Structure 1
Amino acid sequence: MTEREPDPRGGHRSSLPWRVYRAAAGVVDRRRGWDRLPLPLALVVLSGLRDSLRRHNLVDTSAVPTTLPPVVPPFDPDVLTQRTTDGSWNQLDAPSAGMAGTRFGRNLPLASAGRPTRAEVVEPSPREVSRQLMTRHGLIPATSVNALVAPWLQWMIRDWFSHGKSPTEDPWRIELAEDDPWPERPMLVMRTPEDPTRPDAGRSPRTSLNTSTHWWDASQIYGSTPEHQREARTFEGGRLRVEANGMLPTPKSDHPTMAEPGFWLGLVPLQTLFTREHNAVCDMLADSFPNWGDEELFQRARLVIAALIAKIHTVEWTPAVISHPATVVAMRANWWGLAGERLGTAFGRLSDSEVISGIPGSPMRGYGVPYSLTEEFAAVYRMHPLVPDLFDLRSHTDDRRFREEPYSLQELSGPKSLALLETLPMADFLYSLGTEHPGLVTLHNFPASLQQFVRPDGQVMDLAAVDILRHRELGVPRYCEFRRQLRLRAPAGFEELTGDAELASEMSRVYGGDIEKVDLMVGLFAERRPEGFAFSDTAFRIFIVMASRRLDSDRFLTEDFTPAVYTAAGMRWLADTTMTSVILRHHPELRPAMRSAPNAFQPWQRPGATAAATTP
């Protein structure tokens, strides 16, 4: 079957055979489930589902009236071969697409993105949903992966999206049950900032701005403002700031790393590793191009690092957390195509088709909708159960504990936790994360530390209740309607949703017996997961469309993914580098622990465990 020319929506195949194919894929998926099919057929069905989602589940919010269009910097020829700080000019024919300060898109129709009433936001009580359905009584582990998957995801989210700082006036007020030990009554939750570009503020559909760039551009390293980028750079040899001991300078209090309340030590090794990796790329490029100055080296290295992070997430992190055989093949095909890595490395692209040779280097596609990340994408990535409450920090040399009792997440959170790095070697912290399991994304597995999380400013938050409230506040439909909008069947009752009579009874009590009231996050956590999945199949539908869209709408990951832009040396670095090689380049002492792990996000090996405590 050959691919037709793109139709007016920008890349869809609209002939009758393709429509029949998409419809058939949907029918097979609903009746049997893609994950229960033989591998070749599962891949065919997933491809059809992706094409259908591209046609029906990319929604443009820029069509909603605006009084403040994005202010795009003037065109500069440099934008042709380097990423801008604010994300502008990635798409040359739509220079504001993906900029910091532009709207989130939608994966569901705008008609479903209503503006809920106060009662719809606070009832049933998000706090009671948290207490009754989310509370962890003991870690339910995701045993196929290691605890690095949790900070990696949070680190990615810091690149992808933020709704900005909440206003302090007129918070949501949540009434509490008599036996609720919460320290203040009522519980107060700050609102998500309104969209200031709306002339009809307060009207449906609800829209919000992303204060980060929407692109996969490593803005958590390089910043989304000129000020933060200048703070990170040395302006010598293209390099970023690193102390003589290999650690990063302590960020200023207003830096995004420190200013956001979610900071914890798990983010530090990733920020440090990829800052040092940037400098390693600069050194490699300086050897290859000795006449290049600081700016050229910095910009080429940034391109390489941003693409490397996208590659690691696509072909390593995601296949680790959704390790069904079909999704492992499909995610690797997003990068290399069905032709595979070996043929791509040996012969280059065999075709313009992303199916055959992967998305990087293929023609850029927008599917008729201006590029943005979406509210639904942000919603399904609320995966706090991945985070353990306790961390058993150990030495990588002999597996001995640093102290008898584990460290709590609270101890490892906030600016005060940075003092631990004076006695905790980075290699040991990485080893500890690599040899422990995260939590499964399921009910009754939300970290207790995050249900009573104390922010640096002293405010106490129940992040499970906040997550639930945010979905409602932002007009993301509840679970049953969410599935219908994805052309999936909604469950008729609680036991059909969960397959667990006791859990179904708990959910029914919380929601007054009304399955339609089940919150999106609760439904996602409750439903049956495909084999090898650490999260839900419904959430996976959003990933099917958005995982490839983040690649195929980005000029620097499609038509400008070339040696002329990245350099031939940069392209070789990308082809040869994995998460394992990044870790071992900067911490070769971890080689014994990682020697048998095929993927850096799968459990590492302990070299002779002992329960004895030690001091580093």
Structure 2
Amino acid sequence: MSTAPQGRAPWFVQLHDRLAVAVDQRVGWQRLPKPLALLTLVGLRDNLRRKNLFDTGSYPSRDLPEVGPPNVQNLTSRTADGTYNDLADPRMGMARSRFGRNVPPDRACPEPEPGLLSPSPREVSRALLTRHAFVPAESVNALVAAWLQFMVRDWVSHGQGTMDRPWSIDLSDDDPWPTPPMLVPRTIPDPTRPDGNDGLPPTFLNENSPWWDASQLYGNNLAEQRSLRTGQGGRLRVPDGPLFPDDPDKDPAAVPGFWVGLAMMHLVFLLEHNAICDALHDAYPTWSDEELFQRARLVNAALLAKIHTVEWTPAVLSHPTTVTALHTNWYGLLGERLHRLLGRLGSGELLSGIVGGRTDHFGVPYSLTEEFVAVYRMHPLIPDDWSFRSAADDSLLQEAGFRELTGWHAYDILGKHTLTDLLYSFGTSHPGLVTLHNYPRSLQEFQRPDGKLMDLGAVDILRSREVGVPRYNEFRRQFHLRPAKDFHTLTDNPVWAEELRRVYDGDIERVDLSVGLFAEPRPKGFAFSDTAFRVFVLMASRRLNSDRFLTRDYTPQVYTPTGLDWIENNTMTSVLLRHFPGLRGSLRSVDNAFAPWTVAGSPQ
């Protein structure tokens, strides 16, 4: 079986869910008054929980690593590799377990070649993604882009691929690519799947633990984690130079995707971990290095989850209904003020939020999904051109292209400028809008640290096809949305509609998922599409619901009273000001640290 039994919901819940889907399809949740819109989103989420969670762990397996019974330390500590979050199923959510799915098996099989390569991913990238003029997302600042990659590094990774039988993409005569054909590594096959045709779609391993456990800071195995620690006071090493100065092979600059924004977020929350350790040491002076480290990790990871839930996501989905819904995920309908005053009222999520309530996998073992990965491919957020300015007076320090911010070049930028000035520069500039014709030029001709040249726009298209993520219209059907009838109903831009028609040879069913997501009209306040939002409706809350340390064990006994106070009383703004007080003038008038900051010297 591909999905675990979830039980039959009461008739009135089923009726509400059916009404929610019908109203959404006919009217659209975003056009409803907020109370009705919230009820509709609750119904959509309940429907998705019942119909869009599929367990690939139930597919045939071999050579799985042994995981023994839990011990007493597992009750109050996250493990390095994600095991023992669910004590009854300790393998659930461990690093190098399978990605799950949000679509049924018969809709998750990749097309055979040559259909899988049609139309050419490179031609899709050139014709539909290429940025001719930067389109900013003016409601947010560029920290949004840095934060997103910082989170993705915690949750998901397919690895760097294999050049054993690489994908070969033929190029048109006018393509300037220097070395035809374009060769793209294949996603690494799942070594735990037995050989043979079992009639089920392929599976792939997630190199990271999918829990919200800050594994991008703490590592995904015990050896790596130990190398990151000082061994004193629970603290992590905070380097002045390379993030892993004693082992160049582990340095993230050697990994594709490393850039200044990612390094900045990494350094901020290394500092935050150590500040939490100091607070815990003051409260519990007899605790060992290990006890301080483990409790500080819990606190830091939960703070990251809170910032993402109630600050980052409301900034990029700033429709009034979604802002309320996301705060409800954390605090419940009673809101933050009553949450602080009264605490939890029962274990249900509606009144008091998911955090601190009961753990619930909704009948399917927890994982993150291939569809989740696909909608998080938001490279248009990255500008090609950057200006670094002084936080003191907004004077220009340096202008640079994105290539100068990546790989080993990132350390040149970090060495030239203070983190205060770098953070200020991000906070006072805009990311790109996630839309067609706004893909970074520097990522369409991106040189990896190993020297390989890649068009990441083409790779994004190919990866979704390769792992069997449905194309746009089928994806909408599977997420209970009406498919686009034609290119003019897909987008409200007639020029784009004609471009789409040409690239896809008039066949609306061939439009790739990310292309459709970038082309469709967005709800008010959204930096990305409503179709992508459906995956967030399901998976954003699931990351909280399934995690023992964010639900039933989010308690003073596990986190300590000091730890819980730290989470509840801090925001992204307070984190930044704790470590970089020179940002106070620019952050003073900002309610959300991911909104554009005040330019230094501007009237307050």
TM-score relative to the length of structure 2: 0.97
- In structure 1, which of residues 202, 216, 219 is the aligned counterpart of residue 215 of structure 2? 219
Match of 1:413 in 2: 406
Instruction: Look up the SS of the partner of 2:515 in the other structure.
Output: helix
User: Is the 8 Å Cα contact of residues 247 and 272 (structure 1) preserved in structure 2?
Assistant: no
1:445 deviation in Å? 0.3
User: Is the 8 Å Cα contact of residues 338 and 356 (structure 1) preserved in structure 2?
Assistant: yes
Query: Which deviations, in whole Å up to 9, do the C-alpha atoms of 1:409-447 show, x marking residues without a partner?
Result: 000101232022222111000000000000000000000
Q: How does 1:444-483 map to 2 (within 5 A)?
A: 444-483=437-476
1:214 deviation in Å? 1.1
CA distance in 1, matches of 2:568, 2:142: 26
- In structure 1, which of residues 474, 487, 502 is the aligned counterpart of residue 495 of structure 2? 502
- In structure 1, which of residues 112, 115, 138 is the aligned counterpart of residue 133 of structure 2? 138
Kindly tell me: are residues 264 and 127 of structure 1, through their superposed partners in 2, closer, same or farther at Cα, counting changes over 3 Å? same
CA distance in 1, matches of 2:563, 2:385: 39
Match of 2:477 in 1: 484
User: Is the 8 Å Cα contact of residues 57 and 109 (structure 1) preserved in structure 2?
Assistant: yes
- What one-letter code is carried by the residue in structure 2 that aligns with 1:236? Q
- In structure 1, which of residues 64, 85, 101 is the aligned counterpart of residue 59 of structure 2? 64
Match of 1:231 in 2: 227
Q: How does 1:582-597 map to 2 (within 5 A)?
A: 582-597=575-590
Query: Which deviations, in whole Å up to 9, do the C-alpha atoms of 1:247-285 show, x marking residues without a partner?
Result: 955473322623421100111111111111110010001
CA distance in 2, matches of 1:179, 1:335: 52
- In structure 1, which of residues 310, 316, 334 is the aligned counterpart of residue 311 of structure 2? 316
Match of 1:347 in 2: 342
Residue 30 of structure 1 pairs with residue 25 of structure 2? yes
Match of 1:208 in 2: 204
Residue 115 of structure 1 pairs with residue 128 of structure 2? no
1:204 deviation in Å? 3.7
Instruction: Look up the SS of the partner of 2:388 in the other structure.
Output: coil
- What one-letter code is carried by the residue in structure 2 that aligns with 1:98? G
User: Is the 8 Å Cα contact of residues 194 and 201 (structure 1) preserved in structure 2?
Assistant: no
1:607 deviation in Å? 1.7
CA distance in 2, matches of 1:253, 1:126: 34
Unaligned runs of 5+ in 1: 1-7, 610-616
- What one-letter code is carried by the residue in structure 1 that aligns with 2:437? H
CA distance in 2, matches of 1:256, 1:419: 15
Residue 557 of structure 1 pairs with residue 546 of structure 2? no
User: Is the 8 Å Cα contact of residues 385 and 401 (structure 2) preserved in structure 1?
Assistant: yes
CA distance in 2, matches of 1:543, 1:13: 24
Query: Which deviations, in whole Å up to 9, do the C-alpha atoms of 1:164-202 show, x marking residues without a partner?
Result: 231122100000111000011101101001111111357
Residue 40 of structure 1 pairs with residue 35 of structure 2? yes
Match of 1:280 in 2: 275
Instruction: Look up the SS of the partner of 1:419 in the other structure.
Output: helix
TM-score relative to the length of structure 1: 0.95
Match of 2:121 in 1: 126
User: Is the 8 Å Cα contact of residues 396 and 428 (structure 1) preserved in structure 2?
Assistant: yes
CA distance in 2, matches of 1:491, 1:263: 37
- In structure 1, which of residues 523, 527, 551 is the aligned counterpart of residue 520 of structure 2? 527
1:9 deviation in Å? 6.7
- In structure 1, which of residues 587, 592, 602 is the aligned counterpart of residue 595 of structure 2? 602
Residue 581 of structure 1 pairs with residue 574 of structure 2? yes
Residue 196 of structure 1 pairs with residue 191 of structure 2? yes
Instruction: Look up the SS of the partner of 2:140 in the other structure.
Output: coil
CA distance in 2, matches of 1:10, 1:434: 46
1:123 deviation in Å? 1.0
Kindly tell me: are residues 262 and 346 of structure 1, through their superposed partners in 2, closer, same or farther at Cα, counting changes over 3 Å? same
Instruction: Look up the SS of the partner of 1:564 in the other structure.
Output: helix
1:73 deviation in Å? 4.5
1:160 deviation in Å? 0.2
- What one-letter code is carried by the residue in structure 2 that aligns with 1:91? D
CA distance in 2, matches of 1:80, 1:271: 27
CA distance in 2, matches of 1:379, 1:12: 29
**Which stretch has the larger CA shift, 88-97 or 255-264?**
255-264
Instruction: Look up the SS of the partner of 2:358 in the other structure.
Output: coil
CA distance in 2, matches of 1:355, 1:251: 48
Query: Which deviations, in whole Å up to 9, do the C-alpha atoms of 1:335-376 show, x marking residues without a partner?
Result: 000111111112211221101001111010011101100000
User: Is the 8 Å Cα contact of residues 242 and 411 (structure 2) preserved in structure 1?
Assistant: no
Kindly tell me: are residues 253 and 117 of structure 1, through their superposed partners in 2, closer, same or farther at Cα, counting changes over 3 Å? farther
User: Is the 8 Å Cα contact of residues 378 and 434 (structure 2) preserved in structure 1?
Assistant: yes
Q: How does 1:293-304 map to 2 (within 5 A)?
A: 293-304=288-299
CA distance in 1, matches of 2:473, 2:28: 18
Match of 1:386 in 2: 381
CA distance in 2, matches of 1:556, 1:164: 27
User: Is the 8 Å Cα contact of residues 6 and 50 (structure 2) preserved in structure 1?
Assistant: no
User: Is the 8 Å Cα contact of residues 163 and 184 (structure 2) preserved in structure 1?
Assistant: no
1:11 deviation in Å? 7.3
- What one-letter code is carried by the residue in structure 1 that aligns with 2:282? D
Instruction: Look up the SS of the partner of 2:183 in the other structure.
Output: strand
- What one-letter code is carried by the residue in structure 2 that aligns with 1:83? R
User: Is the 8 Å Cα contact of residues 120 and 472 (structure 1) preserved in structure 2?
Assistant: no
- What one-letter code is carried by the residue in structure 1 that aligns with 2:21? G
Q: How does 1:178-197 map to 2 (within 5 A)?
A: 178-197=173-192
Tell me the C-alpha RMSD between the 2 structures: 1.6
User: Is the 8 Å Cα contact of residues 128 and 500 (structure 2) preserved in structure 1?
Assistant: yes
CA distance in 1, matches of 2:342, 2:208: 37
Match of 2:434 in 1: 441
CA distance in 2, matches of 1:224, 1:73: 18
- In structure 1, which of residues 399, 402, 405 is the aligned counterpart of residue 397 of structure 2? 402
Q: What fraction of aligned residue pairs are identical, expressed as a percent?
A: 57
CA distance in 2, matches of 1:423, 1:501: 46
Match of 1:255 in 2: 250
1:75 deviation in Å? 2.4
1:57 deviation in Å? 0.3
- What one-letter code is carried by the residue in structure 2 that aligns with 1:166? G
1:74 deviation in Å? 4.6
User: Is the 8 Å Cα contact of residues 309 and 327 (structure 2) preserved in structure 1?
Assistant: yes
Runs of 4 or more, structure 1, over 6 Å off, are: 8-13
CA distance in 2, matches of 1:344, 1:12: 31
Residue 515 of structure 1 pairs with residue 508 of structure 2? yes
1:10 deviation in Å? 8.0
1:231 deviation in Å? 1.4
CA distance in 2, matches of 1:468, 1:35: 28
Instruction: Look up the SS of the partner of 2:285 in the other structure.
Output: coil
Match of 2:166 in 1: 171
Q: How does 1:329-344 map to 2 (within 5 A)?
A: 329-344=324-339
Match of 1:3 in 2: none
1:69 deviation in Å? 2.7
**Which stretch has the larger CA shift, 393-402 or 160-169?**
160-169
Match of 2:157 in 1: 162
User: Is the 8 Å Cα contact of residues 236 and 274 (structure 2) preserved in structure 1?
Assistant: yes
Instruction: Look up the SS of the partner of 1:172 in the other structure.
Output: strand
User: Is the 8 Å Cα contact of residues 136 and 444 (structure 1) preserved in structure 2?
Assistant: yes
Query: Which deviations, in whole Å up to 9, do the C-alpha atoms of 1:350-409 show, x marking residues without a partner?
Result: 221101001111010011101100000011000000011111110000101113xx2110
1:120 deviation in Å? 2.1
CA distance in 2, matches of 1:133, 1:9: 40
Instruction: Look up the SS of the partner of 1:254 in the other structure.
Output: helix
Kindly tell me: are residues 322 and 435 of structure 1, through their superposed partners in 2, closer, same or farther at Cα, counting changes over 3 Å? same
Kindly tell me: are residues 458 and 201 of structure 1, through their superposed partners in 2, closer, same or farther at Cα, counting changes over 3 Å? farther
- What one-letter code is carried by the residue in structure 1 that aligns with 2:202? R
Instruction: Look up the SS of the partner of 2:249 in the other structure.
Output: coil
Instruction: Look up the SS of the partner of 2:562 in the other structure.
Output: helix
